[in-house]
Amino acid sequence: MRSYNQGLFIVLASLSGAASIAHASIVVVPANLAIPVTPAGLYINISSGISSSTAAGAPGWDINVGGTTSLNFVSPGGYNFVRLNLAPMSAGPSNVPIGFMISNMMPTASWIAGGSSDGFINNSSSNYVGFQFVGNDSLTHFGCMQFSIGASVTGSDRKIVSYAYNTESTTSAGGAMLHVVPAPGALALLGLAGFASRRRR
Kindly state whether residue 127 falls inside one of the protein's structural domains: yes
- Phi, psi for 126 (deg, rounded to 5): -90, 60
pTM score of the predicted model? 0.81
- The residue count of the chain comes to 201
Number of domains observed in the structure of the chain: 1
Kindly state whether residue 107 falls inside one of the protein's structural domains: yes
- How many whole angstroms separate alpha carbon 117 and alpha carbon 35? 14
Task: Give the per-residue pLDDT at 80.
Answer: 96
* DSSP label at residue 97: P
Helices (H), the chain: none
Owning domain of residue 130: 26-185
- How many whole angstroms separate alpha carbon 149 and alpha carbon 141? 26
Kindly state whether residue 174 falls inside one of the protein's structural domains: yes
Kindly state whether residue 197 falls inside one of the protein's structural domains: no
- How many whole angstroms separate alpha carbon 151 and alpha carbon 75? 26
Provide the residue-wise pLDDT of the chain in tens; the chain has 201 residues: 554 443 322 222 222 233 333 446 889 999 999 999 999 999 999 999 999 999 999 999 999 999 999 999 999 988 999 999 989 889 999 999 999 999 989 999 999 999 999 999 999 999 999 999 999 999 999 999 999 999 999 999 999 999 999 999 998 888 888 888 775 543 333 332 233 333 334
Kindly state whether residue 130 falls inside one of the protein's structural domains: yes
Kindly state whether residue 64 falls inside one of the protein's structural domains: yes
